[in-house]
DNA sequence: GTATCGATTGAAACTGATCTTCAACTGTGA
DNA sequence: TCACAGTTGAAGATCAGTTTCAATCGATAC
């Protein structure tokens, strides 16, 4: 079972079903940052805002592009620095799907896993509490205490499958 | 829950419980390659041999080092080219744990998932058929057909936990 | 054995994501 | 106003992985 290459370009917008982020539901982003020990500069607020409002899992490049619409002179280094800080404080999650670069999302209220279409790159989030329980059992059996986990299912989404039937 | 950085150096040997690889159990590697449409050159045989005999998940750099012991002039480009070919034919699996680079293992007979210690980098393989069934259910619910998946559980292994108790 | 020709190789240069450095800027408090 | 710490943008460095290209290999025909 070889890893198919996900044929996705950096610029591709990726949609995914996303639950309400806590910060999107009216929480003051500035206070959100401050309460996590991050000084809320304009740049940091805008990076976080882009992530909170986005329905996608964004690359650093994409975040840079979106933030630049409001703050044209912001540098890519600031994006990376901010993402590191946010990640370290647990406000942002980093994913490495089948790309050669990372994608980021604002930390959701609940952990979830990902279904990723290897044709179009669409990412759908899901959660299966039972899977988490079985993971706990597997960890216990091997004398591990779980800190976090990552479950990614790669496959073909409904619309790509339909396309295949039309143009096989 | 921020991603802890796995404190692992490129040169660290990583152990893990590994079932017998089919090719390690007496199958002729040369024939193994040929039957998958890969011309069995010395270089390719040695890369595959290192992977089959290894008990670890090796980086390209590590494979290069090991192969060079027998073929001193082999280039890193050849390692990468060979790994691509092997991966494409499903003879090798690529993993990206919490590192910034890829690790490879000879394709095991059965799919398995990974427990990874975030302290020492130890990788333990396990499988839980029930988890796979639940994944199928999650995919079906979202109208995905699964091609492959990746489950990685990060945590603290028994011996690192014991160390922590001694030197907290 | 020898000629031919495509496949494969090693070395070196390249690429692209990410990180580091450093001087300039900003905000805050004395 | 001054000092100082924290933050920023720009440019350059780094490093895993890829591409290029001339040299070599190996299978096949003769």
Assess whether pLDDT exceeds 80 at residue A167: no
Contact B137, B102 (CB under 8 A): no
Report DSSP state, residue A24.
Answer: G
Contact B3, A105 (CB under 8 A): no
Tally the domains of chain A: 2
Q: Could you tell me the distance in Å between the CA of residue B78 and the C1' of nucleotide C15?
A: 18
Question: Same structural domain for residues A105 and A115?
Answer: no
Question: Same structural domain for residues B93 and B28?
Answer: yes
Is the CB of A100 within 7 Å of strand C?
A: yes
- Could you tell me if residue B17 is inside a domain? no
Question: Same structural domain for residues A94 and A69?
Answer: yes
- Could you tell me if residue A57 is inside a domain? yes
Residue ranges of the alpha helices (H) in chain B? 29-34, 42-53, 60-68, 76-88, 129-141, 158-166
pLDDT at res. A50: 96
- Residue A63 sits in which domain range? 17-109
Among A109, A125, A143, the domain-final residue is A109
Q: Which residues of B touch A128 (CB under 8 A)?
A: 134-135, 137-138
Q: What is the dihedral of CA A116, A127, B90, B25, to 10 degrees?
A: 170
Question: Same structural domain for residues B61 and B131?
Answer: no
Question: Same structural domain for residues B94 and B116?
Answer: no
Assess whether pLDDT exceeds 50 at residue A8: no
Q: Which of B136, B131, B93 is nearest to A135 (CA)?
A: B131
| Nearest residue in A to B122, CA atom | A144
- Could you tell me if residue A4 is inside a domain? no
Is the CB of B72 within 7 Å of strand C?
A: no
Question: Same structural domain for residues A26 and A99?
Answer: yes
Residue B129 and residue B110: Cα distance in Å, rounded?
11
| B144/A115 Cβ within 8 A | yes
pLDDT at res. A10: 38
Q: Could you tell me the distance in Å between the CA of residue B35 and the C1' of nucleotide D28?
A: 20
Q: For A140-149, write each residue's pLDDT tens digit.
A: 999 999 999 9
- Could you tell me if residue B97 is inside a domain? yes
Q: Which of A77, A113, A107 is nearest to A92 (CA)?
A: A107
CATH (domain of A154): 3.30.1490.190
Q: Which residue bears the tokens 């840079």?
A: A64
| Closest-CA distance of chain B to residue A121, Å | 12
pLDDT at res. A1: 43
Rounded mean pLDDT, B72-86: 97
Question: Same structural domain for residues A139 and A73?
Answer: no
Question: Same structural domain for residues B50 and B123?
Answer: no
Assess whether pLDDT exceeds 50 at residue A4: no
Question: Same structural domain for residues A133 and A79?
Answer: no
Rounded mean pLDDT, B34-42: 93
Residue B136 and residue B133: Cα distance in Å, rounded?
5
CATH (domain of A63): 1.10.10.10
Q: Which of A119, A117, A113 is nearest to A132 (CA)?
A: A113
Categorize the per-residue pLDDT at A14 as very low, low, confident or very high, splitting at 50, 70 and 90. Answer: very low
Contact A124, B142 (CB under 8 A): yes
Residue B130 and residue B110: Cα distance in Å, rounded?
15
For A79, A127, B133, B143, the CA distances from B137, given in Å and listed in that order, are 38, 11, 6, 10
Contact A135, B116 (CB under 8 A): no
Q: For B143-164, write each residue's pLDDT tens digit.
A: 999 999 999 999 999 999 998 7
Among A109, A128, A149, the domain-final residue is A109
Q: For A116-129, write each residue's pLDDT tens digit.
A: 998 888 899 998 88
Question: Same structural domain for residues A167 and A90?
Answer: no
Is the CB of B81 within 7 Å of strand C?
A: yes
End-to-end CA distance of chain A: 21
Assess whether pLDDT exceeds 60 at residue B7: no
Q: Which residues touch strand D (CB under 7 A)?
A: A 38-39, 41-44, 71, 73-75, 77-78, 81-82, 100; B 10, 41-42, 59-61, 76-77, 80-81, 84, 100-102
- Could you tell me if residue B9 is inside a domain? no
Assess whether pLDDT exceeds 70 at residue A5: no
Degrees, nearest 5: CA angle A95-B81-B9: 50
pTM (predicted TM-score)? 0.82
- Could you tell me if residue A142 is inside a domain? yes
């Amino acid at each position: 079972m070889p890893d198919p290459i996900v044929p996705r370009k950096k610029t591709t917008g990726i949609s995914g079903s996303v639950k309400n982020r806590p910060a999107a539901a009216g929480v003051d982003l500035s206070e959100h940052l401050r309460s996590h020990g991050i000084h809320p500069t304009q740049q940091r607020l805008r990076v976080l805002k882009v992530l909170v409002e986005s329905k996608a899992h964004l690359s650093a490049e994409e975040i840079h592009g979106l933030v630049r619409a409001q703050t044209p002179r912001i540098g890519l280094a600031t994006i990376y620095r901010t993402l590191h800080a946010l990640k370290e404080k647990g406000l942002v999650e980093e994913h490495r799907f089948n790309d050669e670069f990372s994608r980021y999302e604002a930390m959701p209220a609940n952990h979830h896993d990902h279904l990723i279409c290897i044709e179009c790159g669409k990412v759908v989030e899901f959660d299966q509490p039972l899977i988490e329980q079985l993971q706990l059992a597997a960890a216990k059996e091997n004398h591990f205490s779980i800190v976090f986990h990552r479950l990614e299912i790669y496959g073909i989404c409904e619309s790509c499958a339909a396309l295949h039937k039309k143009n096989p």
